Amino acid sequence: MSAPTTAREVRDLVADLLARHDPATTERTAFLNARWEAGLAWVGFPVGLGGLGAPRALQQVVEAELAAAGAPDNNPRRIGIGLGMAAPTILTFGTDEQKQRFLRPLWTGEEVWCQLFSEPGAGSDLAALGTRATRDGEDWVVTGQKVWTSTAHTARWAILVARTDPDVPKHAGMTYFVCDMTDPGVEVRPLRQITGEAEFNEVFLTGARIPDAHRLGEVGDGWRVAQTTLMNERVAIGGREVPREGGMVGVVSDTWRAHPELHTPEALDRLTKLWVESEALRHAGTRMRQQLAAGSPGPEGSAMKLAFARLSQALSGFEVELLAEDGLRHGEWTMFRPELVDFTGRDAGYRYLRAKGNSIEGGTSEILRNIIAERILGLPSEPRVDKDVPWKDLPR
């Protein structure tokens, strides 16, 4: 069978799947596994790995048809790290065995993934990380501390970067692994945020064992493998179509409409300005998707992440200020582990505080500006002091 290239061919395959597995009567996981076997999980993936080797753009057709038929999905928000970061990395760098073992339950959601990259001492400077992995027979033994790990407490597997050679410059001495989160050497502790809740975790690795068969890529090649992961993370941002007033601007505009007694001319102009920028950001997203569809992806995603963070912070800050007497009050500070995170959910105070993270998570706005300046505008890099020094000799 040659790969389908038209929407019509894909629609036929979906119809066939639906004919064989009626979503109304098929158990959810069974349906998802059948979908996987039909190559309709991610049609751009190879045959045998949930795909058809088809153009990625056809995936939209699959999703639309299945949604129309009321088929269950794999709850992509719940398994975002697996789908968005682990899967493309495994596909690019994994062995055949690794692909066969990991991708299917990753996609069906039977196994949740998390990401063990950041450390307390290695945030923006990921390559400075100090979690050590030392070889012991067929295994690696891993010791260190990771942080900002979402879904660590529900995850079965983690993608992990660790230092395997401290005697070479920092970018050269890292290796990339798949870590079993059920290993007794792995301890997960919730990390409470300024919102009171704990979306993220700290993960303490104390002699955790990883078989060498779970290494992704070559020993010492961890930086390059991690770049693939992070590039896919960036692509994932801003990918969805957003209706006008989608997101924070809609929430805050509704607050405005609900409270005429709080209106002032100054506040109206500020809100309108933010509305304008939000609408322009929406246009930028549309334009980016159209470029992608036309086969000429641009670097505009970086601009969108910067603008998104700035606007969500400005809008949510505006809302608290506008609410004044009510802005002084808060819903709750209770510590809990949320299932899913909705930046625009809960109350104004939560939105304001949570939005502060938007310019830090997934690459700080400062690092993003460096990247834009150097990679997009071609401005020269600053003098580097950490390029040629063995990792162990770096000041920290």
Partner 1 sequence: MSPAPDRPEQDLLYSDVEEELRASVRALLAARADSARVLGRVEDEQPLDLDLWRALAVDLGATSLPIPEALGGQGAGLRETAVVAEELGRSVAPVPFLGSAVLATGALLHLLGQGAERGGPDAQAEAALTRLAEGAATAALVIPLSTYPGGPLPAVSADGDALTGTVRSVADAAVADLLVVLAGDVLFLVEAAAARVTPVVSLDLTRPVADVVLDATPGVRLSGSGEAAVRAAVLVGAGILASEQVGIAEWCLSTTVAYLKERYQFGRPVGSFQSLKHRLADLWQELVLARAAARAAADALATGAEDLEITVLVAQSLCAAVALHAAEEAVQLHGGIGMTWEHPVHLYLKRAKADEIALGTPGRHRAALAPLVGLTA
Active site residue 233: yes
Q: How far is the CB of 272 from a second copy (least distance, A)?
A: 9
Of 188 and 281, CB closest to partner 1: 281
What does the CA dihedral 234, 236, 241, 246 come to, rounded to 10 degrees? -70
Nearest-approach distance from CB 121 to a second copy, in angstroms: 18
Is residue 63 a contact point for partner 1 (CB under 8 A)? no
DSSP calls for 4-21:
P-SHHHHHHHHHHHHHHS
Residue 223 sits in the site that holds partner 1 (CB under 8 A): no
- 346 is a contact residue toward partner 1 (CB under 8 A): no
Q: Please report how close the Cβ of residue 241 comes to partner 1 at its closest, in angstroms.
A: 8
Give the separation between CA 287 and CA 54, rounded to whole angstroms: 24
Label residue 363 left, alpha or beta by phi (over 0 means left) and psi (-120 to 50 means alpha): left
Residue 159's binding partner out of partner 1, a second copy, none, with CB under 5 to 8 Å set by partner kind: none
372 binds, among partner 1, a second copy, none (CB under 5 to 8 A by kind): partner 1
| Residue 264 · residue 249 · CB < 8 Å | no
Q: Provide DSSP, 203-269.
A: EEEEEEEEEGGGEES-TT-HHHHHHHHHHHHHHHTT-S---TT-THHHHHHHHHHH-GGG--HHHHH
CB burial string 220-230: b at 16+ within 10 A, e below: ebbbebbebbb
Q: Is 299 exposed, middle or buried (0-12, 13-18, 19+ CB in 10 A)?
A: middle
State yes or no: residue 383 binds a second copy (CB under 8 A): yes
Contact 244, 312 (CB under 8 A): no
Q: Which is nearer to partner 1, 96 or 261 (CB)?
A: 261
Site string for partner 1, 85-124 (x = CB under 8 A): ---------------------------------x-xxxxx
Q: Which does 212 bind (CB under 5 to 8 A by kind): a second copy, partner 1, none?
A: none
Note whether 204 and 183 are within 8 A (CB): no
Catalytic residue (choose from 233, 332, 366, 382) = 233
Closest approach of a second copy to the CB of residue 317, in Å: 17
- What's the alpha-carbon Rg for the chain, to the nearest Å? 23
Question: Tokens 């098929």 — which residue?
Answer: 26
Choices 33-41, 42-50, 221-229, 375-383 (CB under 8 A): range interacting with partner 1: 375-383
DSSP 53: S
Q: Which is nearer to partner 1, 20 or 283 (CB)?
A: 283
Binders in 3-22 for partner 1, by CB under 8 A = none
**CB of 229 or CB of 313, closer to partner 1:** 313
Instruction: Give, as ranges, the residues between 261 and 290 that touch a second copy (CB under 8 A).
Output: 265-266, 268-269
By the rule CB under 8 A, 203 interacts with partner 1: no
Residue 230 site contact among a second copy, partner 1, none (CB < 5 to 8 Å, cut-off depends on kind):
none
CB 106 within 8 A of CB 151: no
Nearer to partner 1, 97 or 254 (CB): 254
- Shortest distance in whole angstroms from residue 128 CB to a second copy: 17
How many residues belong to the chain? 396
Binding residues for partner 1 restricted to 257-316, rule: CB under 8 A: 257, 260, 263-269, 271-273, 275-277, 279-281, 283-284, 286-287, 290-291, 294, 300, 302-304, 306-307, 313
Helical (H) or strand (E) element with 162 = strand 157-163
Q: How far is the CB of 269 from a second copy (least distance, A)?
A: 4
- Six-digit token string for 99: 């692909």
* Cβ partners under 8 Å of residue 287, min gap 6: 300
Q: Does 325 bind a second copy (CB under 8 A)?
A: no
What residues have CB less than 8 Å from 79, skipping those under 6 apart?
A: 106, 109, 112, 113
Considering the rule CB under 8 A, would residue 377 count as an interface residue with a second copy? no
Min CB(331)–a second copy separation in Å: 31
Residues that are catalytic? 233
What are the residues binding a second copy (CB under 8 A)?
265-266, 268-269, 382-383, 385
